Structure 1
């Protein structure tokens, strides 16, 4: 499945794990849009990569022709698939991360159960917690004058907020973060690792669900267990396990990457940093622009029938990468797409996806970004990335900085 050979032709042999692509994929997208807007590769199980906004939008709406049953961007080899299918839980529930891993009708009612917890109003319940958390994290390093902005700040916020929302043990946040990395980052190229931590997460949330069944309360997990499906039947507890699985996986790496990318941007673009200090009223539009420019997430879909788009036939069974980051750099839709314009008007980005699978937690992600960045700028307005050449990025499913050395005047 793996192939580390250099890429000679991005049209027919792209590699989403190529170091240059991980660091800066935009030049590849620009090249492909001009000559092969839907590229193909046999690497990592094979896939198709659209690069134009309209094509990604169209593919996102092809449901159920493009199935959501396997949302990761790499495909396990046949022997691993056989092993998965031998697992009765996998056979019945698949990836078990509803609603993102489900097609209608299961998608519809599982999403309906989640949405009330992620409205603009509902997520405000987590504002003070997030604000206190951001300040407490900064308290730990503000006297030092240096920090890993990814590991010591951006990475620390989403897992704690998600744990707080779900009402689970916040002392396990380091475990949660590592588990998610083993699914979305390390495990994309190491299938055995991915499967191991798929089971670890499933077992953890099975215990959580069983405890809430025995001792219901007014929290998030109990609310899901009290719901019903489209037939009015009580929710299967294993579906709730899958929905909790999704909250962990979708809620940590994505927002961590977005906060980290924003800090990287301001730490390497002095004029933009100074502008945000002088014009804090720009934060709403600036956050949308940072989401567009540094869109972290690429989702996988599987063709359940032969599909035709832009003259390209995508055979049944093929993986299609929902390249939302590439779509958000399309010059046919965005003026000066390869520039961050902090006050960009009419920003129609699809960083949170498109179609029925658009991210249900987008309001919470925006809240976390807003608080994390505003709090940082209020307390550390003067900062820079100290060693740009040492910054490391993760790629594949979710792209964002993983090591981000930042320096600033010590407050001691």
Structure 2
């Protein structure tokens, strides 16, 4: 059937910016006095090594508190993280990024980036729309193009003694894959990097600045939707623009919000996992050499690398004042839901602080827990596996060129932003 531009997507994008309005709280950056009472995941020491901080808190103050961000909590035990993730009665997902302001309650149950920002019962139906595109069978169709692209990236590194594996390899892979799934121009990759930074690392911007930056993302997304409606093709953007929920096509805010989720979450989380894995193998020659010698071990090793270096920390908002697990939480307090901390809990994992690449029992929480467990886990696993397979096949020997030159992203998605590796023995 011939399709024409849909007037749902004409005009202003103001409706799409409303989740980025709210009451501003105090500045959130600055030195931490005590991680138990003044934590901040935006500080450089957290980005450099959050695990020592989390281990200390787990031992002396398993649910830390801060007055920053207008009030927030940080559980560090697996049990507490899981309890919150599964408890949709007391905790809302309407905003998943801790920042210096809260979006209004009125955006629930849909939230700004459904389905990850959605509460029940809407969440179930919004998530169901995405499932067909992220089955193992659907994802398998992207494997060979991903493998070919990884080889082309390594071809471009030929002759270099030192390469930045984060900027020259890891970050490009999910950008290309997600752009292909959404039907976006692959040459727009640099814009995707800006969108990621705006969404995940700009938490201390004013609501006005954040609204303006997110407006640029939504302008881009709606331009893509209009182009897809005028020139339909077999991709996720055309699908979302035309699919129906409850007998009607999706609201523009739902379409653009879901596309923003796929673009931002689908890129940063995976490039962070690829980069952290290469960082570990560069500094741990025994693990690297074993994987080169035993490539069949990679799927098992990959799960351990996901456990140990889980990139994603989510957020929840407390719905109402309550006493929970020994602490008094207030309505609209943030919960920093640290899956990385849960994955390092010795009560849940033997040798939790060690990386054991042949660990057989590994029910990690790298992809989250509860109703919001990552819908794209099959995609992320495929990208990580293929990226490591190709790298280890083509570059079996590599080390950190300068450990002090490695930098890590701050905020709720942690991964190397610069990763200088020396190629060869």
Question: In the TM superposition, what is the alpha-carbon distance from 1:193 to its structure 2 partner?
Answer: 4.4
1:18 matched residue in structure 2 = 43
Question: In the TM superposition, what is the alpha-carbon distance from 1:242 to its structure 2 partner?
Answer: 1.2
1:49 matched residue in structure 2 = 74
Q: In structure 2, what is the Cα distance between the partners aligned to 1:116 and 1:393?
A: 34
2:277 matched residue in structure 1 = 262
Q: Deviations over 1:210-242 (max 9, x none)?
A: 22233333322222233222x333222331111
Q: 1:147 to 1:158 in 2, by over 3 A?
A: same
Question: In the TM superposition, what is the alpha-carbon distance from 1:5 to its structure 2 partner?
Answer: 4.2
Alignment of 1:175-214 (within 5 A): 175-185=191-201, 187-191=202-206, 192-214=208-230
1:329 matched residue in structure 2 = 344
Question: In the TM superposition, what is the alpha-carbon distance from 1:64 to its structure 2 partner?
Answer: 4.1
Question: In the TM superposition, what is the alpha-carbon distance from 1:14 to its structure 2 partner?
Answer: 1.0
Match among 8, 28, 41 for residue 53 of structure 2: 28
1:409 matched residue in structure 2 = 424
Q: 1:200 to 1:45 in 2, by over 3 A?
A: same
Question: In the TM superposition, what is the alpha-carbon distance from 1:4 to its structure 2 partner?
Answer: 4.4
Q: SS where residue 321 of structure 1 aligns?
A: strand
1:363 matched residue in structure 2 = 378
Alignment of 1:90-129 (within 5 A): 96-129=112-145
1:285 matched residue in structure 2 = 300
Question: In the TM superposition, what is the alpha-carbon distance from 1:384 to its structure 2 partner?
Answer: 0.4
Aligned length: 399
In the alignment, is residue 345 of structure 1 matched against residue 370 of structure 2? no
Q: In structure 2, what is the Cα distance between the partners aligned to 1:342 and 1:273?
A: 10
Q: In structure 2, what is the Cα distance between the partners aligned to 1:219 and 1:154?
A: 24
Q: In structure 2, what is the Cα distance between the partners aligned to 1:148 and 1:299?
A: 28
1:235 matched residue in structure 2 = 250
Q: Deviations over 1:169-200 (max 9, x none)?
A: 11101111111111112x12224543222111
Question: In the TM superposition, what is the alpha-carbon distance from 1:37 to its structure 2 partner?
Answer: 0.7
Question: In the TM superposition, what is the alpha-carbon distance from 1:139 to its structure 2 partner?
Answer: 0.6
Q: Is the 8 A contact 1:150 1:402 kept in 2?
A: yes
1:383 matched residue in structure 2 = 398
Q: SS where residue 141 of structure 1 aligns?
A: coil
Q: SS where residue 335 of structure 2 aligns?
A: strand
User: Gapped runs of 5+ residues in structure 2?
Assistant: 1-25
Q: Is the 8 A contact 1:66 1:303 kept in 2?
A: yes
Q: Is the 8 A contact 2:32 2:39 kept in 1?
A: yes
Question: In the TM superposition, what is the alpha-carbon distance from 1:32 to its structure 2 partner?
Answer: 1.1
Q: 1:128 to 1:255 in 2, by over 3 A?
A: same
Q: In structure 1, what is the Cα distance between the partners aligned to 2:343 and 2:144?
A: 32
Q: In structure 2, what is the Cα distance between the partners aligned to 1:49 and 1:129?
A: 40
Q: In structure 2, what is the Cα distance between the partners aligned to 1:352 and 1:91?
A: 25
Q: SS where residue 351 of structure 1 aligns?
A: coil
Deviates more, 1:319-328 or 1:204-213: 204-213
Q: In structure 1, what is the Cα distance between the partners aligned to 2:45 and 2:381?
A: 29
Q: In structure 1, what is the Cα distance between the partners aligned to 2:333 and 2:78?
A: 20
Give me the TM-score of the superposition, normalised by structure 2.
0.90
1:158 matched residue in structure 2 = 174
Q: In structure 2, what is the Cα distance between the partners aligned to 1:4 and 1:104?
A: 33
In the alignment, is residue 276 of structure 1 matched against residue 291 of structure 2? yes
Match among 163, 182, 186 for residue 147 of structure 1: 163
Q: 1:298 to 1:226 in 2, by over 3 A?
A: same
User: Gapped runs of 5+ residues in structure 1?
Assistant: none
1:70 matched residue in structure 2 = 95
Q: In structure 2, what is the Cα distance between the partners aligned to 1:328 and 1:317?
A: 26
Q: SS where residue 265 of structure 1 aligns?
A: helix
In the alignment, is residue 247 of structure 1 matched against residue 262 of structure 2? yes
2:13 matched residue in structure 1 = none
Q: 1:335 to 1:235 in 2, by over 3 A?
A: same
Q: In structure 2, what is the Cα distance between the partners aligned to 1:369 and 1:132?
A: 14
Q: 1:160 to 1:115 in 2, by over 3 A?
A: same
Q: SS where residue 334 of structure 1 aligns?
A: coil
Deviates more, 1:31-40 or 1:208-217: 208-217
Q: Deviations over 1:21-63 (max 9, x none)?
A: 2111111111111121111001233210000001000000111
1:132 matched residue in structure 2 = 148
